[in-house]
């Protein structure tokens, strides 16, 4: 079998990559060792940037329909148990409330798509069904990746198929989306750098039909998404998308202790079933490289983070969307030789920031946990004082985990060989998002005068030059793109609100919604700008700037 791309691993990252390149007409084979997706929670939230990516794949509405109902509160609460008053409640908008805020927002500070709670065991089958319906995508289930051999014109990939027969597939490119123990990464000889095996916890998945309907129980907490337990071993409970399934993470030693922990948290005798329980390890690790030659890594194969902050899978989806359009452009013949080389430059720096953000969030959780006093559960003045003190500390420290909009939306690519690298730029802020069209940044969402979203006007298979002032000729740039065989649209939308947020008359946007260049007029050497952003420039000139910023 010959194909254009082989993807190893059909988790959310591998599936997103397959759908993205398959939607672009690129033939790919998805190799997955499991026969069916497993009923394991793993991730439980698609963040705002991920939902914008899924919107561009025409999947956002399907994912919302399959996920947690839009009216469910997203509050995070610190508790002793479900029958006691919460020590601290941090309110956050439901999806419905977040969507309403987005509809009214006009300053670019909110995403086009807010977050969505959806468990991996719900998301993965949905994405798998979409992938299998795309003609360019072939899914090989119950198939084990064995090894690869890179050649000048492609990669030979050996697998054991569903019948246990060794087969050799040939592809132009290979992508390892095969998780933290990636066999693709290990064959490349790429090491993980950072902190491994930081802590060990057990994760249990519980089914409890009545719990959500009983909340609040007595004076206990109201409905929310996360419940963090103060006292005892580090423990927190998460409501999954069905609102009937719950995951508990706790530093306990056995499955039986996990059962007792769940019973202790809910505080009332309710029928339940423990569906799964296993140990997992906390890691903060980053691959020293994101690939080599015709072989690339994405998702957990390239970076492993602590789930605190919810950045792991979401960063992997960002890897997939960055790699997808670059693979497609290269295979379609218009992407320059520097395009795929830019993948590691751009995404590894994001992986490094995400590892740091995850560490920051985890330290916030540990900071308030360290302030739990022995008397915190007592019905005494000392107990009340201990709870008040903890609430004060956690009101600062727990927000480090829950409020990461800057890490989600505000990341930008620095010193990339395929953007106009203007010196300086806004600071990277994990907690806050400042909309900007600085080269390398995600284009801020804005509503146009006709009520449409500007992101929806930009096609994902081409670059777009946005003229927010009107009257600027795009002829030289169109000619330069045409000479290189690359697709470019021009969108003229004279709009003072857009001009105020985007800060320049002209903004050149890549297929993945990241800004490649901006200015108040086209540079005289439009051909140099086109060559740079399409990947045809000399890589040694990556840090230079083109035209006016």
Label each residue of 379-411 as H, E or C.
CCHHHHHHHHHHHHHHHHHCHHHHCCHHHHHCC
Please write the tens of the pLDDT for every residue from 138-160: 999 999 999 999 999 999 999 99
Please write the tens of the pLDDT for every residue from 178-226: 999 999 999 999 999 999 999 999 999 999 999 999 999 999 999 999 9
* Residue 370's pLDDT band (cuts 50, 70, 90): very high
Please write the tens of the pLDDT for every residue from 403-425: 999 999 999 999 999 999 999 99
Measure CA 401 to chain center: 15
Average pLDDT, integer, range 111-136: 97
Better-scored residue on pLDDT, 452 or 545: 452
Measure CA 80 to chain center: 32
Asked whether the beta carbons of 154 and 169 are under 8 A apart, the reply is: no
Mean pLDDT of the chain: 95
* Residue 537's pLDDT band (cuts 50, 70, 90): confident
Please write the tens of the pLDDT for every residue from 266-302: 999 999 999 999 999 999 999 999 999 999 999 999 9
- pLDDT > 70: what percent of the chain? 98
* Residue 455's pLDDT band (cuts 50, 70, 90): very high
CATH code for the structural domain at 415-541: 3.40.30.120
Please write the tens of the pLDDT for every residue from 321-342: 999 999 999 999 999 999 999 9
What single-letter DSSP state applies at residue 116? E
pTM above 0.75, yes or no: yes
* Residue 546's pLDDT band (cuts 50, 70, 90): low
* Interior/surface letters 225-236, b for 16+ CB within 10 angstroms, e for the rest: bbbbbbbeebbb
List the chain domain ranges: 415-541
End-to-end CA distance of the chain: 48
Average pLDDT, integer, range 528-542: 79
Place of tokens 């194909």: 3
Measure CA 417 to chain center: 23
Position 132 pLDDT exceeds 60: yes
Asked whether the beta carbons of 20 and 320 are under 8 A apart, the reply is: yes
* Residue 521's pLDDT band (cuts 50, 70, 90): very high
pLDDT at residue 42, rounded to an integer: 85
The DSSP code sequence of 126-192 is HHHHHHHHSTTEEEETT-EEEEEEEETTEEEEEEE-TTS-EEEEEEEEEEE---TT-HHHHHHTPPE
pLDDT at residue 14, rounded to an integer: 98
Position 389 pLDDT exceeds 50: yes
Please write the tens of the pLDDT for every residue from 56-84: 999 999 999 999 999 999 999 999 999 99
pLDDT at residue 539, rounded to an integer: 39
Helix (H, G, I), strand (E, B) or coil at 539: helix
């Amino acid at each position: 079998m010959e194909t254009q791309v082989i993807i190893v691993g059909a988790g959310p990252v591998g599936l997103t990559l397959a759908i993205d390149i398959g939607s672009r007409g690129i033939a790919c084979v998805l190799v997955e060792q499991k026969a069916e997706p497993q009923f394991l929670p793993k991730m439980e939230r698609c963040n705002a940037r991920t939902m914008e990516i899924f919107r561009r794949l025409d999947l956002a509405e399907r994912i919302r329909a399959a996920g947690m109902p839009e009216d469910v509160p997203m509050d995070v609460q610190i508790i002793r148990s479900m029958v006691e008053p919460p020590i601290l409640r941090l309110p956050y908008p439901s999806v419905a409330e977040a969507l309403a805020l987005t509809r009214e927002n006009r300053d670019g500070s909110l995403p086009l798509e807010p977050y969505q709670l959806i468990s991996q065991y719900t998301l993965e089958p949905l994405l798998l069904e979409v992938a299998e319906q795309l003609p360019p995508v072939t899914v090989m289930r119950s198939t084990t990746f064995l090894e690869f051999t890179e050649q000048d014109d492609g990669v030979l990939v050996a697998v054991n198929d569903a019948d246990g027969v060794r087969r050799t597939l040939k592809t132009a490119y290979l992508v390892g989306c095969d998780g933290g123990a990636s066999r693709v990464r290990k064959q490349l000889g790429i090491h993980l750098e950072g902190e491994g095996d930081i802590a060990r916890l057990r994760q249990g998945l519980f089914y409890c039909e009545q719990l959500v309907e009983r909340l609040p129980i007595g004076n206990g907490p109201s409905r929310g998404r996360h419940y963090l337990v103060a006292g005892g071993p580090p423990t927190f409970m998460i409501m999954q998308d069905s609102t009937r399934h719950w995951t508990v993470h706790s530093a306990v030693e056995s499955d039986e202790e996990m059962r007792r922990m769940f019973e202790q948290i809910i505080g009332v005798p309710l029928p339940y079933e423990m569906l799964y329980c296993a140990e997992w390890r906390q890691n903060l690790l980053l691959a020293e490289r994101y690939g080599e030659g015709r072989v690339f890594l994405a998702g957990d194969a390239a970076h492993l983070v602590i789930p605190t902050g919810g950045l792991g899978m979401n960063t992997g989806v960002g890897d997939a969307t960055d790699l997808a359009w670059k693979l497609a452009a290269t295979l379609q013949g218009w992407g320059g030789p520097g395009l795929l080389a830019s993948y590691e430059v751009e995404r590894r720096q994001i992986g490094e920031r995400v590892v740091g953000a995850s560490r920051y969030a985890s330290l916030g959780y540990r900071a308030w946990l360290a302030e739990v006093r022995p008397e915190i559960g007592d019905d005494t003045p000392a107990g009340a004082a201990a709870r008040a003190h903890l609430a004060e500390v956690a009101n600062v420290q727990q927000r480090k985990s829950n409020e990461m909009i800057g890490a989600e939306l505000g990341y930008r690519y620095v010193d990339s060989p395929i953007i106009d690298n203007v010196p300086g730029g806004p600071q990277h802020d994990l907690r806050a998002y400042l909309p900007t069209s600085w080269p390398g940044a995600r284009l801020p969402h804005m509503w146009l005068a006709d009520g449409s979203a500007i992101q929806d006007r930009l096609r994902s298979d081409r670059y777009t030059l946005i003229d927010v002032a009107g009257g600027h000729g795009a002829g030289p740039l169109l000619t330069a793109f045409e000479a290189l065989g690359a697709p470019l649209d021009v969108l003229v939308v004279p709009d003072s609100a857009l001009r105020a947020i985007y800060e320049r008359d002209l903004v050149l946007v890549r297929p993945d919604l990241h800004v490649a260049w901006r200015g108040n007029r086209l540079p005289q050497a439009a051909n140099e700008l086109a060559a740079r952003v399409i990947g045809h420039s000399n890589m040694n000139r990556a840090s230079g700037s083109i035209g006016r910023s």
